[in-house]
Amino acid sequence: MKVLAVIGSPRKNGNTETLLGAVLKGVEAAGGEIEVVRLCALRIQPCIGCGGCDKTGQCVLEDDMQELYPKILASQRLILASPIYFYGITAQAKGFVDRCQALWSRKRLLSEKGEWRKDPTRKGFLVAVSATHGERVFEGAILTAKYGFDAMGMGYGGEFLVKGMDGRGDMAQDAATLTRAEEAGRKFMD
Mean pLDDT calculated for residue range 156-160: 98
Give the total number of structural domains in the chain: 1
Question: In this structure, are residues 100 and 147 in contact, taking their beta carbons and an 8 Å threshold?
Answer: no
pLDDT value of position 27:
98
Where in the sequence is the domain holding 12, given as residue range(s)?
Answer: 2-188
Mean pLDDT calculated for residue range 80-96: 97
User: In 47-183, at which residue ranges do the beta strands (DSSP E only) sit?
Assistant: 77-85, 88-89, 123-129, 155-162
Residue 140, domain CATH = 3.40.50.360
pLDDT band for 164, please (50, 70, 90 cuts): very high
pLDDT band for 103, please (50, 70, 90 cuts): very high
Buried b (16+ CB within 10 A) or exposed e, 173-183: ebeebbebbbb
pTM of full prediction above 0.85: yes
158: left (phi over 0), alpha (psi -120 to 50) or beta: left
Mean pLDDT calculated for residue range 6-11: 97
